Amino acid sequence: MKSLEQIRADFPILQRQVHGRPLVYLDNAATSQKPLPVLQAMETYYRQTNANVHRGVHTLSEEATAQYEAARSRIARFINAASAKEIIFTRNTTEAINLVAYSWGLDHLRPGDEVLITQMEHHSNIVPWQLICQRTGATLRYVPLSPEGRLRLDLLDTLLTERTKLFAFVAMSNVLGTINPVAELVAAAHRVGALALVDGAQSVPHMPVDVQALGADFLAFSSHKMCGPTGLGVLYGRRELLERMSPFQGGGDMIREVRLEGSRWNALPWKFEAGTPAIAEAIGLGAAVDYLAGLGMENVREHERTLVRYAVDRLSQVEGLRILGPTNGERGGVVAFTLEGIHPHDVAAILDAEGIAVRAGHHCAQPIHDFYGIVASARASFYFYNTPGEVDCLAAALERVQHVFAA
């Protein structure tokens, strides 16, 4: 992997100051920063190739189509999908999960069926299943949390039954940093004849992911959390499942033939991509996965593993600070915490005055906060361009936050 100094030089925004202080960007679980190759790829598209895809025979359209589909192929290789036809472009992780909920769920769920999710899910993997279960009469069940912030896997055999049609779960919690045993959970779902959907929004950007090795039926993730642009997500689905699913939206490009009497759908993957797609964004994501592949995802994971261990140890020394989630063993690069007697929004505001960007709130995961009996937390989240020195800045600033409120 490049040196940390070389990597940081690839990210122009990391050179700026906020309130007269060097930016310390620790909000990567919400969105990551973008390296020069991504910015340049999107600018080049708009400057030299801007045209719609799939619909023109002129040079610009053919070039745009080639770049757009080449990005799809690179993304397929990045997660080791068997075919680029299994890569569906969506707006974000949320839309990818909704696609499965509506295109698969409405056709396959009936009264008496069950969908199993977990208590640590992001709202995007809770609300769609609540809506679909209400419409179909299926029952939604949850794998509960343990006090240390892990799934109660000892209850899995009771919760996964022949009534379970889908097990949808997060690979890595955006609050707790808990890394779930994805292959084990997928295998458990398959043993009872259920499909498995993995929310990879926090895992795909931070560690090697091989969908074939995991055995996942569906995997959803977002471009903007992995050095790519906003407004683009990805749904991976096994080809035989996608072939049998109904379209999610109707319109242009997802059709093969339209007559007043009825329509026939396009082939995969375009059957699920109605209308003009996010062309520049897909090209940008293609550049992002090239950048990540160049770093090596094992190297990315090892850097974050070392950094988060240091962060947990350093922040544990701050008086009155409580870390949510596991403090021993493997965890992702996320540390959500509370400071005794101080609202997380106040913590984040004071940190911002010192140039430190963290997130405060429930992080679209209210059930987790309910479990811990709190309404919100502050969250520092790391990526491969963050440094131990930035962890020290955060810890020192949190101690100053305490002094402000003690005064």
CATH number at residue 127: 3.40.640.10
255 and 337 both lie in a single domain: no
215 and 353 both lie in a single domain: no
H helix or E strand, kind and range, residue 133: helix 127-136
The residue range of the domain holding 85 is 39-293
Asked whether residue 34 is assigned to any structural domain, the reply reads no
Predicted local distance difference test score (pLDDT) of residue 1: 73
Largest Cα–Cα distance of the chain, in whole Å? Answer: 75
Asked whether residue 304 is assigned to any structural domain, the reply reads yes
Predicted local distance difference test score (pLDDT) of residue 242: 98
Predicted local distance difference test score (pLDDT) of residue 181: 98
172 and 249 both lie in a single domain: yes
Question: CA-to-CA distance for 180 and 332, rounded, in angstroms?
Answer: 10
Return the CA Rg of the chain.
Answer: 22
Type of residue numbered 388: P
224 and 178 both lie in a single domain: yes
Which are the catalytic amino acids?
A: 364
Q: Which residues contact 184 (CB under 8 A, 6 or more apart)?
A: 153
Question: CA-to-CA distance for 43 and 30, rounded, in angstroms?
Answer: 24
169 and 303 both lie in a single domain: no
Q: Which of 239, 265, 293 is the last residue of a domain?
A: 293
Predicted local distance difference test score (pLDDT) of residue 407: 65
Predicted local distance difference test score (pLDDT) of residue 406: 80
Strands 164-170 and 195-199: parallel
98 and 241 both lie in a single domain: yes
Question: CA-to-CA distance for 274 and 248, rounded, in angstroms?
Answer: 8
174 and 257 both lie in a single domain: yes
In the chain, what is the straight-line distance between the N-terminal and C-terminal CA atoms, in Å? 46
126 and 224 both lie in a single domain: yes
Asked whether residue 77 is assigned to any structural domain, the reply reads yes
Type of residue numbered 401: V
What the block records as the tokens of 242 is 């996608």
345 and 365 both lie in a single domain: yes
pLDDT averaged over 10-residue windows placed end to end, the chain, 407 residues: 94 97 98 98 98 94 97 98 98 98 98 98 98 98 97 97 98 98 98 98 98 98 98 98 96 93 95 97 98 98 97 96 92 97 97 98 98 97 98 97 85
Q: Which of 293, 319, 337 is the last residue of a domain?
A: 293
CATH number for the domain harbouring residue 374: 3.90.1150.10
Asked whether residue 33 is assigned to any structural domain, the reply reads no
Q: Number of structural domains, the chain?
A: 2
Asked whether residue 185 is assigned to any structural domain, the reply reads yes
Asked whether residue 212 is assigned to any structural domain, the reply reads yes
14 and 114 both lie in a single domain: no
Question: CA-to-CA distance for 189 and 167, rounded, in angstroms?
Answer: 6
Sign of the torsion angle spanned by Cα atoms 170, 152, 127, 365: negative
Predicted local distance difference test score (pLDDT) of residue 55: 82
Asked whether residue 306 is assigned to any structural domain, the reply reads yes
Strands 334-339 and 21-22: unpaired
Asked whether residue 93 is assigned to any structural domain, the reply reads yes
Q: Which of 293, 312, 342 is the last residue of a domain?
A: 293
19 and 52 both lie in a single domain: no
Count of H helices and E strands in the chain? Answer: 15, 17
361 and 214 both lie in a single domain: no
